[in-house]
Each structure stands twice: as C-alpha cells, then as structure tokens.
A and B are shown apart, each in its own frame.
Chain A
C-alpha cells in the first residue's frame, strides 16, 4: 500500500545571519559562521531547507573562573588565567569554530575592570584567534552598557555577536551594535511574547531583523528545561508561520546552565548513586545540547570540549538528508 508522506508547507523562514567578517568583508577573521535560514522544523529535511548546520561554540571567561567544577578545571586549568591562550586552545586543540568570550572581570563586585581594559582584552582575543567571537557582559546592567559599548567599538568591522539586550535594558547595546556593525543577542525570560516584544522594540530602533539572535533563556536539564524547550518550539513555529518578529536564529547557553547544578558538581563521595563526576557533567551538558537542538537551537554555547564533540557528532547525523524520494 502506498504511503503518502505528509508535508507541511511553511510560509516563513528563519533569517540567515553571519557572525564574523574576513578581510574582504572589512574585518580580520579568517573564518565566519553562518546560521539560520531554515524553512522547516529542526532537521525535517524532507519538507524544507536547512541551509546551515547548528554550531557549537566554546565559552571562555576573561578571568580565572571561580566556581567551575573539577572536570572543567582539568581541561582549561592551564590556560584560564589568560583569555588569549584559552581561546587559542579552544581553536587549536578542540577545533572551535566560534568562541564566546564572557567578560566577568568587569563585574563591579569582582575585579571591576574598566571599559578600556575590557576593550584591550577583546582586542587580544581577536588577535589570538581567527574565528568569530560572541561577546557577553558580566551581568551588571549599568556596567555592561559601558563595557559592551567599548567592546563593540574596539571590534568595529568584525561583525561579532554581542549580548545581551533585554526588554528593560536594550537601547544602549542595540545602538552600539548598530553603530559598529555587530549582531545582537536579544534575551527574554522563557516567554515567547516578551521575546517578540523585545524584537519589536529592537526593530523599532531600526536594528535589522537579520542581525538579531534570540536567547530564550534555557534552564538546566532537570531544572525547568522543558519550559524553555516548549518556548523554543513556539518561537520556531511562529517563524515558520511567517511571523517576522520571531524569525531569528536561537542561541542557548547550555554550558553555563549545565555546570551550575548539583548533578554536575557534587563529588562521588557525596552522591555515590550518581556515578562518576568526570563523565556526569559532560553527559548533562550533552543531553541539554541535543535536546534543545530539537527545539530549534542554531548556536549552542558549551563549556566542555567533549560535550561539544558529542553534540557535533549528533548534528552531523541529523544533517544527513532525509527526504523520501
């Protein structure tokens, strides 16, 4: 008996967005990363186009991390006091195509580094590696407005991805991204409506829709990831139903969330039933990554190179053509 393949014909398409600019494009990157452009649900190649594969970035800090658990210290401990070296290791040893640099040293209750110092760090990292960068603030609103502006200026022409613009605080950073030609991450608290509102506010400021990446804020596996997952699905469905204000690629900071919970931190003595700590965290991060891929993630930011490798292996398989011809 003949089985007809049911295909959904979508009207909408996710915006295609490129991070990084090579010399011809006015930057100094040796490679760039392009994401988005989907006209179908995740990996359903048979009913639409998935022109770009999702990318896994590695995350680095601009100072020695305070509370990263043992398995991360093992990989990065030798370089994490120097962001340039750290970035190099990501690229040279672990093949990162994209690096997320988190500027925690600017935190006013920490080192409180100045905008000038931060700009220098950004330049150093740009010099050290050729891959494009994602630049993230320290989490203090006021300070971030200052340092991200400085970072955007220092990296003018590099077409980076900078975050975060939030509903309550978006104009300074969006303006900096516009002036210095970068892309911006629009972060909303697990809420499709606020995600959309923020995108409207940004486009009202004349930020282009193909220069925005949505961060729907993912929670850790076991700590509410299912909410984030369904919000991601709704955002993607909105994009495919031709809602411009939801048609942006999505980014998920899985590393930050995965390594922040007891399951990836508690020792074996403390939790004998949970198995080895050295693999537990990697599995946790991997599981998060592979799950949000199904929700429509385009960029994943991981902390452990092994998780990155696992997820990439998964992406490789998912990207094989599956049309029924």
Chain B
C-alpha cells in the first residue's frame, strides 16, 4: 500500500492508503483542511498541492499554468495515488476558518464558530462516583463495632455522608476484604438517590481508573463521551444516528408509532438502548476497558426521549394538556434498563420541565450558566423542537416552538445534517448567477446543511431570485430555474459536479419550509419577550445551539430573520450543550444538584394554551417573511433598500 508523506509548513504527516485512492480524500482523512470551493469537481483550481517525489495518476489538470505543472503542481481532487509519494501542501491551498469565504473578505465577527465551553476549568471535580482511601482501626474486644459500622465510621470521619447505604455484593465480601487488606481499603461511593451507596471495595493498591459516560440522546443523533472520573478528562467520544429513526423522524411520529403498534413502545425502547450499547461498545473497544469499568452514567435528552428510554408510554405528551409521566426521573440501575456498564451502576437522566422542554435543555442551561448571570440571556436550540430559554439568575422562562427539522435538513429535498459533503456556504454572482459553494470536508456536494441553507436563502433574496415571501421572482429567468411537476426549483449544483447522480436543487416548497422553521423560532422568541414585557434590546447575549455545520453566518441569519437583529458580538454558537451539561453533572455533584434546581425554576410557556395560541399564530405568520413583516424589527438588515 502506498505511503503518502504530507509536508506542511512545519509538520510532516504520514498516511497510508490503498492504491488508486483520490488524493483529496487522503488529504481529508489525514486531517488536513484543503480549499475546495467547487467541492472536488476540478473546476475551481483551489485544491493545488505539489508532488515532490513519486508518480501520481492525474485525471485532469484544470487550469494549472504550464509553469506550475512543471513545478509538480496537481489538483488534489483530480489525482490518484498509486505509489509512495511526498506531497507538499502549500499554505495558500490550506483552509483556515476564514478562508472558507471564497470571495468576500469575511469580517471575523459575522462568523459564528462554535465556542468550546471549557468544562474542566469551570468545575471542581466531585464526580457522581468516587473513591475514598480508608485506614480503619482494627477491631478489639473493646472496639467491637460491626465491620460495616466500622466502615461507615471511617467514612464519616473523612466527610459527612448522610444516609449511606451498601450494596449486597459489598456486604458479602466485606469481612474478608477488610481482613485480607489489613483494614486498609479503597471505598467506591456512588450517588444513588439523594445519598451515597458503598458500591465497591478495592485493595489499597488497586489502580484501574473509574469511568463514567455522558450521553446526549438526540431525536436524530446520539453522542456519548467516555470520561475518566478521576481526572475529568474525556477519553473517547462516539456518535451514532438514533436507531429510533426507522420508526419516525420526529418525536410526534415516534409517539404515534408507539401508540399504533402493539410492540411499538418496546421497539422504540429497545432501539434507544441498542444505540446506547453500540456507543458503549465503541468506546470500550477503543480504550480496551471492561464494561464494568464504567461505573455510572448521566443521560440528557428531550422528554419524549426520556420516556422511550425508560420504556414508559409517551402518549400523553402529545395529547392536551400535554402532561409527561415524569419530569424528575429517579436514578435506576444499569441492569434494569439493559445498559452495558457495571450492572449495579447508577443511571441518571437529567430532569425535564415539561412535555416539550426536557433534560437536554436543562442540561444546556446548566452548561451555559444562563441561570447564574445577571444579564438576560437568550438560549436557542435550533432543532426539531425549537426549544428556547430566556432569563437570568432571577428568572428563567422557556418554550418549545416546534420549528421542525428544516435546519437539520429534514423536509428539505436536498437538506442534510452537517456531515461530509454537505454544502455549508454559497455565493451567487449577481449578474451571471454562477454559484460557488464549499462543502464540509471538501467532499463533492451531496446536499445542503443548516448553515448552507441560511446562507442560501439570504443570498437568493439578496440577488433577487426570491422575493420576501420566499417565492421565485416572476420575472427571473435563468436555466437554473425550472418547473417540475407542480414545483418550481432552482438548480444549485449540476449533476456533473455533485457527489450524487442528480442535480442538487432547492424548491419553492423547501424555501417555504425553511421560512416556517425560522418563523417559528423567531415567533417563539417574541412570545417569551412579550410575556416578560421586554424587547430585544434587553437581551445581553444570544447563545445558539444546534447541529449546523462549522459555523453560522450571523449576518445571514439576521437577514433571513432567524435571529434577532442585535449586534454581532452578542451572539455565541455553543454547539451540543446537552452533552456538555451531562458531562458537567457527571463530574460534579454540585452541578448535578444545580440542574435539578434549574428544572424547578424554569417556567414553561405553553404556546398552544388559549391565551397564547392566537398571539403565537400572529407572530408566526408575520415572521414567515424575509426578514419579517415588521421591517422595523430588523433595522440593520433592511435599511439599505428602504429608499432605493
């Protein structure tokens, strides 16, 4: 198998691949970010690299100058590796965050890239499962307490542990363990209900680390982090599509499936447990540890997910007056749920607020610390349920605006999640309507992800292809705009350049769906503000969570009216805060308690309640426009064309 030696400015990366491998793919797999504006179609000429040594198979040379060809320049996307080679990656071909903008010089601040929340720095390590070293007094005729009492006394001398309990397996071995180890022991304590349980005893020299897992149970995707409980470090991460997907795309579909099929609930329950176990298999294999080394787990997910996770009928969630069976879920043992960690290990599921605001959101509030700030913060989860939180240390209000999955690619013909091959940036020439785009990992485009869709709608409107209601302008004529059975569509990428055997298009219906989604989110924001008698100006910071892509362009999000028209520096993109909050709770009892307080404190605004629904509908209709029916709400994006 050929070996590629990549030469970057200061680094060298060695990479082995199959003979015939596309060089662009090898570059990407080696973790090098290369420019690829045309997504590997061979037309943009941006993916130039230099072959220093060895022969390659060139499929095309594009517009490379004779001079460059002489120096060994090739287009990575048009080159196959057949033998050992040395490849230099010139700096101008490398993609740094900002270079993703092909033509305009991007202003840093209009770009919203994910901000990593530094968890380890923020919390004092006090995990839900921990070890205490003890040296106990040997019993005598005078000091004749039982072994267990002796153990408790030893523990309580170190710290006050109200309501200590002990598992049967520990009691069985207790006497011999203490005596064999000369009254020295490592006691493992696990948070059970509100108390700790002595769950394991180990020899004083036992060194195998304890692990815990934090899991985000998303409706569409699930992510698991394996965490070393002593150091707080994340040692492995794994993600998978939620296997429930085959029973319905969104929560309502799955609730219906559970209702309409005899074994529907069982299947849904099993699917989520299977997904979790597969994720566990993955990290256990990666790190070569035992399942029993994972001592505890914290899960975060929406309310429907929690019910299905527990195997509880979720049906009332969707029936008026929308009452979940549980918001606060007592800890359960892994074995009861069939989760493949230590059998008696305790499983915690973060508490929810209502049927449509669940543990994933309380977890997000914990991770982002909205409830600790003085300033008013708006938290937006741009996902299917469209949960929103507004508030500060004094109050928190939340609602779910059912945005639909459009920004996650659902309901959009060529929409997709932010994965390899997803277009995340567009540029349309105002005169020729020539389109430039870039894709995640520079793969040939196969669809458009959330950030691409935002940019696309903004651009289509800006260059006059669609009007403010999202309809194609009737006097716009171009070969890219065409009719197909009851649908008007606009070709974004011709088949020849696409990574699929079809043209990639956006239809009028897609645009309508996107406007509906963004309208729902903005309407939800307005409803919360109105209920608190506040205006946008009171919002100090906007935290955006959701699986968009590598970045969101804030100006575009404002242009289409998805985000309120506030100064760019007020926005932060916070990524998967559900997972982050779960990890924090796993590593800190204090945080774990806080999330319960948060859930108790959050006021749920029911948008379908009688006194809200009419107003919400009104807000919703007025927000289904670019950017909004009330242009005065978006002064910075509308002022330019008010007087031309």
Contacts and interface: CB of A to CB of B under 8 A. Distances in A.
B318 interface: no
A197 interface: yes
A196 B474 contact: no
A197 B629 contact: yes
A200 B468 CA distance: 8
A171 B475 contact: yes
Interface in A109-124: none
Contact of B468 (A171, A191, A192, A197): A197
A172 B467 CA distance: 14
A194 B468 CA distance: 12
A201 B621 contact: no
B356 interface: no
Contacts of A245: 629, 631
A191 B469 CA distance: 15
Contacts of A167: 469
B335 interface: no
Interface string B470-506: 0101110000000000000000000000000000000
B12 to A, nearest CB: 56
A204 B467 contact: yes
A193 B469 contact: no
A126 to B, nearest CB: 29
Interface string A230-270: 00000000000001010000000000000000000000000
A196 B631 CA distance: 10
A196 B621 CA distance: 11
Nearest to A196: B629
B211 interface: no
A4 interface: no
Interface in A178-223: 191-194, 196-197, 200-201, 204
A243 B622 CA distance: 14
Contacts of B469: 167, 197, 201
A317 interface: no
B610 interface: no
A281 to B, nearest CB: 33
Contacts of A168: 471
Given A191-B621, A193-B621, A200 B631 contact: yes
The binding surface of chain A is classed by DSSP as: helix
Interface in A244-301: 245
Interface in A28-49: none
B618 to A, nearest CB: 7
Nearest to B618: A193
Contacts of A194: 621
B407 interface: no
A193 B621 CA distance: 6
B622 A201 contact: no
A192 B614 CA distance: 13
Given A194-B621, A197-B625, A197-B629, A204 B475 contact: no
B624 to A, nearest CB: 8
Given A201-B468, A204-B467, A171 B473 contact: yes
B471 to A, nearest CB: 7
Interface string A152-172: 000000000000000110011
Contacts of B629: 193, 196-197, 200, 245
A193 B622 contact: yes
Interface string A103-141: 000000000000000000000000000000000000000
B615 to A, nearest CB: 12
A196 B467 contact: no
Contacts of A200: 468, 625, 629, 631
Nearest to B622: A193
Interface string B13-37: 0000000000000000000000000
A194 B622 CA distance: 7
Contacts of A201: 467-469
Contacts of A197: 468-469, 622, 625, 629
Contacts of B471: 168
A67 B351 CA distance: 64
A167 B618 CA distance: 17
Contacts of A196: 622, 629-630
A204 B468 contact: yes
Contacts of A171: 473-475
Interface in B602-641: 618, 621-622, 625, 629-631, 641
A72 B631 CA distance: 45
A194 B618 CA distance: 10
Contacts of B618: 192-193
Most buried by B among A191, A196, A200, A243: A200
Given A193-B625, A197-B622, A204-B641, 17 more contacts: A167-B469, A168-B471, A171-B473, A171-B475, A172-B474, A193-B622, A193-B629, A194-B621, A196-B629, A197-B468, A197-B469, A197-B625, A200-B468, A201-B467, A204-B468, A245-B629, A245-B631
27 contacts: A167-B469, A168-B471, A171-B473, A171-B474, A171-B475, A172-B474, A191-B621, A192-B618, A193-B618, A193-B622, A196-B622, A196-B630, A197-B468, A197-B469, A197-B625, A197-B629, A200-B468, A200-B625, A200-B629, A200-B631, A201-B467, A201-B468, A201-B469, A204-B467, A204-B641, A245-B629, A245-B631
